[in-house]
Amino acid sequence: MSMIRSVLRGMGHALPERVVENAEFETWMETTDAWIKSRSGIERRHFAAEGQTTSDLATDAARAALADAGMEAETLDAIVVATSTPDTTFPSVATMVQGNLGMKSGFAFDVQAVCAGFVFAMSNADALIKSGQAKRVLVIGAETFSRIMNWEDRTTCVLFGDGAGAVVLEAAEGDGTPQDAGILATDLNSDGTYRDLLYVDGGVSKTQTTGVLVMQGKEVFRHAVEKLAKTAETALEKAGLSEANIDWVVPHQANLRIIKATATKMNIPMDRVVVTVQDHGNTSAASIPLALSVAKSQGKFVPGQLLVMEAIGGGLAWGAVVLRL
């Protein structure tokens, strides 16, 4: 039975020029390159320049994705941006990108699910396409987490970076089988009883300040591996597939130890896992689309391959997307 699928037409990414190696932290903080690498697998990250905002990075990634898709911004129906670090309280980053791209029609909005944001945005975009509300949707993950770091906390401030990634989704008719191209299934979850494990201690209503990131790393790690493997399994089941069908896992790039432990739990060898955390650190909602775009530029993907994307972030919120190229 034929059905509408959300097919991936283009990918792109943007990174700030400034690269911060682990060694730079050694000059002013009690830490070492070896300690950071052993705990996280991170070797370097990018930090936004003064005055460079989330919407700037999102716009650059959007232009790259549109160029990759061979499409003009005016042909888009919607823009969905996943971010926890917007330029301003409002309007949304998505409307800023819409304005920057010169797109006068359609609609744009932000999604906030922290590090799981891109998965949540993809699921929302897929629903818009399947329901007929949009035919072409630009989905972006963009962050400037360097702006919410506590530079006194050496256990967290070395883990995060800035960047953006974007994809273009388009409605296409499929046969309704797991062999179709496009998004085959999504799985979303959250549990607000864990909100104190990872949060920012400021905000409009509570403190009228931006605040800084606070994380109970060990607890987050404990939840991450189990929940990531489970959500991937659930999404695959929804698609009528299993772990044996996976060509690539594109995980949220938070920590190499989490990535490896989740792959082991899913029985996926590391040579089928896209890993960019060493170069970007944790870019929150930007990490999956950034990893997708980098992997594509490295020639890793082949049409017809099955991708599983999974992420977990503050909330806690977690989920997965199963997509065929």
Q: For the segment 265-311, what is each residue's pLDDT rounded down to a tens digit?
A: 999 999 999 999 999 999 999 999 999 999 999 999 999 999 999 99
By CB neighbour count within 10 A (0-12 exposed, 13-18 middle, 19+ buried), where does 134 fall?
A: buried
Residues 90, 161, 253, 169: what is their CA dihedral angle, to the nearest 10 degrees? 40
Give the per-residue pLDDT at 1: 85
3 state DSSP class of 33: helix
Of 146, 174, 202, the position where a domain reaches its end is 174
Of 140, 174, 208, the position where a domain reaches its end is 174
Token pair recorded at residue 78: 């919607």
Catalytic amino acids?
Answer: 115, 252, 282
Together in a domain, 21 and 170 = yes
Q: Tally DSSP H helices, then E strands, for the chain.
A: 9, 13
Q: How many domains does the chain fold into?
A: 2
Query: Which domain, by its residues, includes 154?
Result: 3-174
Together in a domain, 34 and 61 = yes
> What is the Cα–Cα distance from 285 to 313, expressed in whole angstroms?
9
The CATH number covering residue 147 comes to 3.40.47.10
Amino acid at 174: G
Residues 43, 25 contacting (CB under 8 angstroms): no
> What is the Cα–Cα distance from 158 to 185, expressed in whole angstroms?
34
pTM higher than 0.75, yes or no? yes
Of 174, 192, 208, the position where a domain reaches its end is 174
Residues 201, 211 contacting (CB under 8 angstroms): yes
Amino acid at 177: T
Q: What confidence tens digit (pLDDT) does each residue in 236-268 have?
A: 999 999 999 999 999 999 999 999 999 999 999
> What DSSP designation does 242 have?
-
Matching residue, tokens 């690539």: 248
Residue ranges, the chain, pLDDT below 70: none
Amino acid at 42: I
Residues 189, 319 contacting (CB under 8 angstroms): yes
Token pair recorded at residue 154: 């050496």
